[in-house]
């Protein structure tokens, strides 16, 4: 049975938890500057007969870039800095508690981003369809073109592995 949810947040969490997907997402984020939420969106929207228009893509990309820059990235940077500091103060429970709260806030910020992205579309549950790897690859090509990312064979292999995680769940 294929992975599916009409709620982007539920779908992305299920997909992210599949074997190897988190590693691919984090590698793309660290090495190529990919917004993981936009990456996962390209797979989620391939479950609908509805394809985002140019205007919707522009709105989604603009909102996501601003949200990531102003909200998600500062939380992530603070969390990562604290994590490094925690190595020097492993017995300090306040550091550990703050780290836990920052991670929770970062996840909440990503959930808000995904909900906003979904709200910009006119998808309906009635528009749901079987997952289309072809549509996902088209979406990814569009997104990567906005980042000037060339799709190497290694990258394509990773993208297809994620698509298989959607199909064979």
1 lies in some domain: no
The count of domains in the chain is 1
Report the predicted TM-score, pTM, of the whole model to 2 decimal places. 0.91
Distance of CA 85 to the CA centre of its chain: 27
133 lies in some domain: yes
148 lies in some domain: yes
43 lies in some domain: yes
Q: What pLDDT, in 10s, does the model give residues 61-112?
A: 999 999 999 999 999 999 999 888 878 776 778 888 998 999 999 999 999 9
Q: Is 128 helix (H, G, I), strand (E, B) or coil?
A: strand
CA distance 169 to 164: 8
67 lies in some domain: yes
3 lies in some domain: no
> What separation in angstroms does the CA of 161 have from each of 2, 4, 13, 43, 166?
14, 17, 16, 12, 9
Its domain, for residue 79, covers 8-167
111 lies in some domain: yes
């Amino acid at each position: 049975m294929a992975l599916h949810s009409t709620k982007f947040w539920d779908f992305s969490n299920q997909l992210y938890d599949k074997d190897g997907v988190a590693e691919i997402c984090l590698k793309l984020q660290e090495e190529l500057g990919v917004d993981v939420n936009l990456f996962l969106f390209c797979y989620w929207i391939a479950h609908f007969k509805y394809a985002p228009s140019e205007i919707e893509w522009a709105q989604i990309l603009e909102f996501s870039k601003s949200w990531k820059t102003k909200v998600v990235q500062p939380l992530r940077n603070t969390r990562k800095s604290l994590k490094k500091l925690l190595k020097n103060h492993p017995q300090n429970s306040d550091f550990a508690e703050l780290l836990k709260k920052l991670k929770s806030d970062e996840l909440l910020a990503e959930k808000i981003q995904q909900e906003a992205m979904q709200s910009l579309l006119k998808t309906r549950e009635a528009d749901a369809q079987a997952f289309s790897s072809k549509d996902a690859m088209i979406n990814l090509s569009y997104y990567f073109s906005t980042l000037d990312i060339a799709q190497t064979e290694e990258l394509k292999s990773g993208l297809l592995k994620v698509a298989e995680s959607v199909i064979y769940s």
